Amino acid sequence: MPTKRKYNVSGTKDFIVLAGIFFFLCLWAIKDAWYPSDKVLEEHPREIAVAFEIEGIVGKLHVAPGDSGIEEQVLAELRRAGIQEKFDASVKTYSEAKRTHSHVDESLRTMITKGDSSGKMTQLKADRIEAQTAMDSALKQLTLFRQKLDLTELYSSGEGTVKAILVPAHSQVKADQAVLLIVPDDHFYLFNQSLAIFSFIAFWVFLGIHILAQ
């Protein structure tokens, strides 16, 4: 009667080790792909709520649900007429304050050059300080309204697809109120899903080789 053949494969223990490695790799990939931790969700959000930093009325929406490939573009705008008026007024106020400061400063420099030490110089020095303060205050207001104008435009932070419009055009919104939902183009979850499937198959392949090689 023929002797039963045995397949003794050198290094067969390596296959069970590899099977174990792919088993745990599969579990790790499944966890990150379908049951991510809070830390993973923070680093790879499934969706991002986009909001204006200031309150106002939504003037225009430049995207619609389903739009993809968006990247660092204007998604929506607030009505800016009121802020624009205040900005224009602040530009005028700053220009006048700057002109006054230049006039006073020039007069003071001329007096110093001439060596005039009368009481008028003391007054001019006080006027220059006052003009400098007014100019600094006007510049601060100008900068503030310029920043507000910039904040009337809502930009995307990266590539993605518009999932939903939460606030329609011509609606009042508060600061930090979500206006759109964006699904970022992040392949982290797809990669882990593929890795989980690959690891699952590899686990059974190496386990089968180990069993057959005994």
pTM of the model: 0.69
Reported as a single tens digit per residue, the pLDDT across 141-176 is 999 999 999 999 999 878 899 999 999 999 999 999
| Whole-angstrom distance, CA of residue 214 vs CA of residue 182 | 54
- Compute the mean pLDDT over every residue in the chain, rounded to the nearest whole number: 89
* CB atoms near residue 133 (< 10 Å): 12
Task: Say whether pLDDT at 2 is over 70.
Answer: no
Please report which confidence band the pLDDT of residue 1 belongs to, taking 50, 70 and 90 as the band edges: very low
Residue 39 in tokens: 């830390």
**CATH 3.10.20.600 fits domain 46-78+153-184:** no
Please report which confidence band the pLDDT of residue 33 belongs to, taking 50, 70 and 90 as the band edges: very high
Task: Say whether pLDDT at 72 is over 90.
Answer: no
Residue range 27-39: mean pLDDT, rounded: 93
Helix (H) or strand (E) holding 179: strand 178-184
Q: Which candidate, 82, 55, 33, 51, places its Cα nearest to that of 178?
A: 51
Name the DSSP class of 202: H
Q: Is 122 helix (H, G, I), strand (E, B) or coil?
A: helix
Residue range 177-183: mean pLDDT, rounded: 94
Could you give the percent of the chain with pLDDT greater than 70?
93
Q: Is 209 exposed, middle or buried (0-12, 13-18, 19+ CB in 10 A)?
A: middle
